[in-house]
A and B are shown apart, each in its own frame.
Chain A
């Protein structure tokens, strides 16, 4: 009897709410520096949830989410850059000999437009690639390879268009956001709180999506795409939708990232960062929603600790982590918890059986 009450108190929902409140309260006990780091990790966590909707639930692996993250980040950065120059021409454009603002930069003068485009652009690109591939039943590793080729193309484009994107040094030196100084501690705390709230919203909505009938259909597509066709579903529509949604979430994460980190460059969205994102999900536990969040925070915390002092060792560690997680921990950290939970339940049962025996 006590056991059930205990379990109820510690039910998943309560734990999730506690974590959410704890994150909201973090500014009270973390230094500005650490808060900023945590905010960055949580922006990554938002992306990881979207990636897991695609990979963990629907079985489609994208090695190209860095691009969607990057598009969101660049949209925000373009606005910040224009705000910093006060309507003038950004420095790198002047260096490459341009005299007036190029056409595609003009909408980014308006913050609302920039925010909308930061979500819409990744979604549109994902929709196009998703529609054209899933429609033709190109799936599995073929799609994965195409998604990686997309990274190569977009990164080359960003690096090559020096006068439009700042080339390989990216966009940085921002000043204000809606008139607030982006470098002040208060604004940064506000960005952090916004990130936590967005994370909470994305988590909550994703949970609603996967716990309902829709989530069962996604699992059905993951485990037997063809079978789903003969139940009357069109898997390509569902896959395109989830891919688009997950790209939009990545764009959102990218915007929050650039606000807190203050720089975005092609190396942060390229092939290696894109595949690192997959590791967050894999390590945390694919097919759960809390797993990717845990994975994103853990891997990035480790990376921050490690790579500053020993960048070489970090690369070895990263490589090794991939191998170990895939081979020994396919369900990630949450998988470990589940196993542990099952074992405890079994022990409970066996102990209660013993009690009954002793009474009889």
Chain B
């Protein structure tokens, strides 16, 4: 069970001289809620970018399920390998209805010619319906996605990610801009979806991380600084120095 679903080995991402990720080794285990934290510019978002194919690794290898090398694949191929990503700003299709958004997101053959003849199957209808229940968008399913509230848009996008039935879900600051109530709901949702798959989340909100994390990775200057439970992270002296350091000093002063 503890075999890694995703393994990065000595990955480098070089933005014309600036190494956003430098010789990074990183492992994601199945069925876990895995948070990535770190100061700004630590390479957290670049880590997600390089896994989902938005940015190509300059060097190193990224292996899925121990076998499939994905660092050379295009974005859409990576999706079909079982990695789905939710972006920071909700990027849903405003002009399509909620149900349309899920329809095009769901797992299916997405090649041109299979799409021309695509029809709803009963199974697909059931899946979409269940997903709408899960994220609480059943009542608004026929509204255009652009008319949703901010929190609803975030859930719609999470739903779109889940409809692809991925093995790994990448979330970039999923609770940004959410109310207390919405955050709790999102947290529960994340716990629920992690039962069947790995969830890798970049997040700044430490209370949220503390509440829902199974594993926390701390990144610093494009490298992995520390990995462990939130408790271990909080007690590690090097982490305190680079990341929590300032906070500790503040406490001392006050």
Distance in angstroms from A204 CB to nearest chain B CB is 15
A-B contact count (CB 8 A): 67
Distance in angstroms from B138 CB to nearest chain A CB is 20
Q: Which residues of chain B in 105-124 are interfacial with respect to chain A, using CB atoms and an 8 Å cutoff? A: 105, 110-112, 115-116, 118-119
Distance in angstroms from B131 CB to nearest chain A CB is 14
B85 interface residue, CB < 8 Å from A?
yes
Q: Report the bound CA distance from A214 to B108 in whole Å.
A: 13
Range of interface residues on A (Cβ < 8 Å): 20 to 34
Q: Which residues of chain B in 123-170 are interfacial with respect to chain A, using CB atoms and an 8 Å cutoff? A: 160, 164
Partner of A234, one of B76, B95, B96, B116: B76
Pick from A2-10, A119-127, A221-229, A269-277 the stretch touching chain B: A221-229
A97 interface residue, CB < 8 Å from B?
no
Report if A234-B91 is in contact (Cβ < 8 Å); known contacts: A213-B103, A214-B118. Answer: no
Interface size of B in residues (CB-CB distance below 8 Å): 28
A209 interface residue, CB < 8 Å from B?
yes
Is A214 a contact partner of B95 (Cβ separation < 8 A)? no
Is A216 a contact partner of B103 (Cβ separation < 8 A)? yes
Is A227 a contact partner of B93 (Cβ separation < 8 A)? yes
Distance in angstroms from A285 CB to nearest chain B CB is 15
B238 interface residue, CB < 8 Å from A?
no
Q: Which residues of chain A in 210-252 are interfacial with respect to chain B, using CB atoms and an 8 Å cutoff? A: 212-214, 216-217, 219-220, 223-224, 227, 229-234, 237-238, 241
Report if A229-B118 is in contact (Cβ < 8 Å); known contacts: A219-B93, A220-B104. Answer: no
Q: Which residues of chain A in 3-55 are interfacial with respect to chain B, using CB atoms and an 8 Å cutoff? A: none
Is A230 a contact partner of B95 (Cβ separation < 8 A)? no
Is B95 a contact partner of A227 (Cβ separation < 8 A)? no
Partner of A227, one of B91, B112, B116: B91
Q: Report the bound CA distance from A294 to B219 in whole Å.
A: 59
Is B110 a contact partner of A232 (Cβ separation < 8 A)? yes
B197 interface residue, CB < 8 Å from A?
no
Is B105 a contact partner of A231 (Cβ separation < 8 A)? yes
Which chain B residues lie closer than 8 Å to A234 at the CB level? Answer: 74, 76, 110, 112
Q: Report the bound CA distance from A238 to B115 in whole Å.
A: 10
Distance in angstroms from B160 CB to nearest chain A CB is 7
For the residues of A in contact with B, the DSSP-based class is helix
Which chain A residues lie closer than 8 Å to B164 at the CB level? Answer: 231-232
Residues 66-110 of B, flagged 1 when their CB comes within 8 A of A and 0 if not, give: 000000001110011000110100010111100010011100001
Taking CB as reference atom, which chain A residue is nearest B81? A232
Q: Report the bound CA distance from A358 to B111 in whole Å.
A: 57
Is B74 a contact partner of A229 (Cβ separation < 8 A)? yes
Is A213 a contact partner of B110 (Cβ separation < 8 A)? no
Distance in angstroms from B44 CB to nearest chain A CB is 18
Report if A214-B91 is in contact (Cβ < 8 Å); known contacts: A231-B105, A232-B79. Answer: no
Q: Report the bound CA distance from A182 to B213 in whole Å.
A: 78
Is B100 a contact partner of A216 (Cβ separation < 8 A)? yes
Taking CB as reference atom, which chain A residue is nearest B166? A232
Name which of A224, A232, A238 has the most chain B CB atoms within 10 A of its CB.
A232
Is B93 a contact partner of A223 (Cβ separation < 8 A)? yes
Is B95 a contact partner of A238 (Cβ separation < 8 A)? no
Which chain B residues lie closer than 8 Å to A223 at the CB level? Answer: 93-95
Report if A219-B118 is in contact (Cβ < 8 Å); known contacts: A232-B164, A234-B76. Answer: no
Which chain A residues lie closer than 8 Å to B52 at the CB level? Answer: 230
Which chain A residues lie closer than 8 Å to B79 at the CB level? Answer: 229-232
Q: Report the bound CA distance from A233 to B80 in whole Å.
A: 9
Is A209 a contact partner of B76 (Cβ separation < 8 A)? no
Closest 3 CB pairs of A and B: A232-B79, A229-B75, A213-B118
A213-B103, A229-B79, A230-B76 known; 5 new pairs, CB 8 Å cut-off, are A220-B96, A224-B91, A229-B76, A234-B74, A234-B112
Please report B residues at the A interface, Cβ cutoff 8 Å: 52, 54, 74-76, 79-80, 84-85, 87, 91, 93-96, 100, 103-105, 110-112, 115-116, 118-119, 160, 164
